[in-house]
Each structure stands twice: as structure tokens, then as C-alpha cells.
Structure 1
Amino acid sequence: MEGPVCLVGNGADGQLEVNPAALEILRGLAQPVVPVAIVGLYRTGKSYLMNALAGKQRGFSLGSTIQSHTKGIWMWCLPHPRRAGHTLVLLDTEGLGDVEKGDTKNDTWIFALAVLLSSTLVYNSKGTIDQYAMEQLHFVSELTEHIKVKAQRGDDAEEDTEFVRFFPSFVWAVRDFTLELRIEGQLVTEDQYLEHALELRKGTNKKVMEYNLPRQCIRNFFPTRKCFVFVQPASRQEMGRLDSLPDSALDPLFLDQTRRFCGYVFQCSNVKTVKGGIPVNGKAPRSPAEILLALPTGGRV
């Protein structure tokens, strides 16, 4: 593919619907697929990271205003840069929390689809991993309401813990990070920073339970976790044209952090599998294409 195409879009009635042309592209993938999806609040720079994974300066639209630019889920299929005979499927999602939509149900379904379709899920946020950032991940606590894994025999749903086996690995990308990585005066790694932020508080009162809920869900649903922090890539005046700036105009530390992020995703993202550890491609039963076709009302949510 020379560039991304819309895989799941917003119909005229506001419902999500699958793009038949993109579905045919997905069905035509005969190689094992490694799908990587990115989610997060709108206007947080998700598309830049996806273009970096594609090895391109331009591709997924970055946008330069306060409005959400990516709508629905966009797909870009490329030869995997590290694994011969594999296809890297990049999925850039509509920004969560767009005030112009006024419908959180749409966000919930996009988040759930990103989880189902990917083998690595990148959550993109800005600033720090604080309570506000955790609260924006309330979609995680709703996954059990939207995703069910059917037993191999019969139609009864298995225990909630069963579907964790099919969940992607989780990467938290913290953008425009300005703090020192220190906890109680000690230098820590990015992963230690994330795990510290996910620590649970003791107690059973309502406030403690609300604090713990998103953290407990992340810990339970995503046992494989990684964290990357990124400094601001350029001056505020230049942030709106990142897709046209040469590397020489970007912060060298940001470039190094982006390279480390891409290297990890390429090295550690697994082929998408189904029950029994069977790798899937675009044609196999329970492939990403079949997941999309199984959406309510024939590919519409």
C-alpha cells in the first residue's frame, strides 16, 4: 500500500461501518500479520508515531488544529521491516474524547476494535501518567461489556479472564514529558515509572475503588506492559508542521526516543493469533477481516 486507507469509518447516521475496499485489501494478505494499533485522546500526536513505524515522514494525517483529524480507524499494510514474509498492519484510530462527537459510545467501540484487531496496543497520552490520564482509560474497564470469548464447544461465554489470552501487549507512550524519572529521589526506568503509577491503594471505600479500577483493569487485561516517554519534538511554533520538518529540526533526544519505540515495536510485537496459538493472515478464520465482518448489523456498530 502506498498510503493509509480508511478501514472503519463513520456513516451518515453516525454509526461505525467497515469500508469494503479496505476489507478486500485486508482479506488479500496471505502472510502472517502483525497488527499495531494506537489509541488515545485527540490531538496528542498519535499519527506521528504511526508514520515513524511506517518509516515515512508522511502518510497518516497529522493535522495542526485543535480539531480531531483522524476519523474512524485507518489502516496501512507494509512489509515488516524486521521479519521477512510478514506484513505489518498499522491502525491509526480516531482520537478519543472529541468534544464535537458528543457520543462516548463511538469511542468505546473504537477502543474495543483496536484491542481486538491488534497484537500491540499503543496508548498515547500527554504530560504525565497521573490520575487524569488514568481516568481517560475508563474504556479499559468497559471491555468486558463489549468483548466476549466463546467457548470452543457451545455458545456460552467463557470467564472474563479467558479473553486476556487474546489481548495485545500494551505500550504507554507519554508525549511532551518534562519531568525527571525519579521516585523518592531515586532514578527509575520508564517501565518502573509506569508500574509505580499502576500501584493500587489499600482500602475499600468508594474513592479508593474508583482510583484502583482503571489500574486494576490494565494490570489484569494487559500483563505485558511497556512505557516510553518522549520530550517535545520541536518548538511550539513548529509543532503544527512536524510532517514537513527535517530530522535536523527536531530535538535529538526525541528522535532517539522514537527510534527506541519503533525498535521495540518491531522486535516485540507478535503475529496475531487465535485459539491454539495459530497465526492468522487476512484470509484465515477469525482473522481481522472476519472480526470486522462479525460486528453487529453486518459490519456496523
Structure 2
Amino acid sequence: MEASLQVLAFWVVILVWSFASASSSGPEDFRRAFPIVEPDSEHTKLRLAREGLEAIQRITTPIAAVAVIGPYRSGKSFLLNQLLSLSCDEGFGVGHMRDTKTKGIWVWGTPVELDIDGTKVSVLYLDTEGFESVGKSNVYDDRIFALATVMSSVLIYNLPETIREADISRLSFAVEIAEEFYGRFNFEFC
């Protein structure tokens, strides 16, 4: 499956980048959102964003990621700000117009540190570009969805209204991608 190969390549690049350099920035430099995956100008391809990867590569503990996906203008960024106890002025950018504010996938630069069974874990929050916005293809939406699915430990599908058949199809697609990705590497999949 082409999408799973792209996801594998994405994580290989992140791992190589993580081991290749170290960052000397203080935590205050990372108290904002950073892009980790950005669209090209035509919204047909995705590319890695250096500043987001630098925010991630400085983390030395195991990482768990919470990603929020859903249609555009459905409150994904607002929900993440609530989870982080941040106002809309200090957290992820929240748009008030019809145009989407988030392009690609963004990460909050300061992880939430948790102790899980005696292990310190850094929880990252990922904001994604919404589906079905004007000027984008379904293939582009599927790429964002697939990347968010395999990058996250917890995936929140934020819907502003009732569940539609298309939403169920997208979730089914996410499960297929995750099963194939984790199956290739013999990871335990729950």
C-alpha cells in the first residue's frame, strides 16, 4: 500500500534526523505550535518541516502522541487548546473565517510529561488540517489522515455533527492503514 510506504519513509526520516543532531534551545522556545508536515503550494504533496522536527528531536523520553482529525472548521485546534489548558491566543491557531487555519500537521512544542507505570512519557499533541476543505483532493485528505493515524498513540476523530457513512469509511481506512503498518514491523496491535 503506497500510503504505508510513505508513512514508513516519514518515520525513518524523523529517526535519522533525531539521532543526527541535538538542540540547545530552552523549553520556553518550544511553547508554541510547529509544523511537522506541510503541504506543497498545490496541496497535492506533503513535505517534512524542519522546525517541527527540531521540536520533537530534543525529547529524550518515550513519546506518546494524541492527534485530532476531522472536517475543516470543526474545532480541532480549539479542542487541543482545551486539552492543553491554553487560550486560543496562546495555543494552536484558531481561525474564525471560512479558510482553514491549520495546513498539514502541527505539533505543540512543549510535551506534557506523565509518569506511566514508573516510566516518564512525553505526550505530544498533533493538530491536523481538516478534511473536505475547498481546493484539496480526497487523496490529500487521505494522506493527512493516514499519517495522523500511524503517528498517534491516541486518535481523536472530532465531528461537529452526526456520524455519516463517509466518516465510518474513513475510520475503516485508518484501521487498515494501522494494521498494515504495524503488521509489517511485527508490532503488537491492539
Q: Does 1:5 align with 2:5?
A: no
Residues 110 and 147 of structure 1: is their aligned pair in 2 closer, same or farther, counting only changes over 3 Å?
farther
Please tell me the root mean square deviation across aligned C-alpha atoms, in Å: 2.6
Counterpart residue type for residue 112 of structure 1: A
Residues 20 and 137 of structure 1: is their aligned pair in 2 closer, same or farther, counting only changes over 3 Å?
farther
Q: Does 1:26 align with 2:56?
A: yes
- Aligned with 2:181 (options 149, 154, 161): 149
Are 1:8 and 1:74, in contact at CA under 8 Å, matched by a contact in 2? yes
Q: Secondary structure at the match of 1:122?
A: strand
Counterpart residue type for residue 170 of structure 2: F
Taking the aligned partners of 2:77 and 2:188, their CA distance within structure 1 comes to: 27
In structure 1, what is the equivalent of residue 82 of structure 2?
Answer: 52
Calculate the TM-score normalised by the size of structure 1: 0.46
Residues 125 and 24 of structure 1: is their aligned pair in 2 closer, same or farther, counting only changes over 3 Å?
same
Counterpart residue type for residue 92 of structure 1: D
Counterpart residue type for residue 133 of structure 2: D
Residues 163 and 72 of structure 1: is their aligned pair in 2 closer, same or farther, counting only changes over 3 Å?
same
Name the count of aligned residue pairs.
Answer: 154
How far the C-alpha of 1:79 sits from its partner, in A, is 4.1
How is 1:1-301 mapped onto 2 (pairs within 5 angstroms)? 1-14=30-43, 15-58=45-88, 59-80=91-112, 82-83=114-115, 85-101=120-136, 103-129=137-163, 132=164, 134-143=165-174, 144=176, 148-149=180-181, 157=184, 165=189
Are 1:38 and 1:91, in contact at CA under 8 Å, matched by a contact in 2? yes
Higher relative contact order (CA 8 A, sep 6+): 2
Which protein is bigger by CA-based radius of gyration? 1
After superposition, the C-alpha distances for 1:161-206 in whole angstroms (9 at most, x for unaligned) are x77806xxxxxxxxxxxxxxxxxxxxxxxxxxxxxxxxxxxxxxxx
- Stretches (4+) displaced over 4 A: none
Calculate the TM-score normalised by the size of structure 2: 0.70
Are 1:54 and 1:78, in contact at CA under 8 Å, matched by a contact in 2? no
How far the C-alpha of 1:13 sits from its partner, in A, is 4.5
Give me the identity figure in percent. Answer: 31
Taking the aligned partners of 1:137 and 1:93, their CA distance within structure 2 comes to: 19
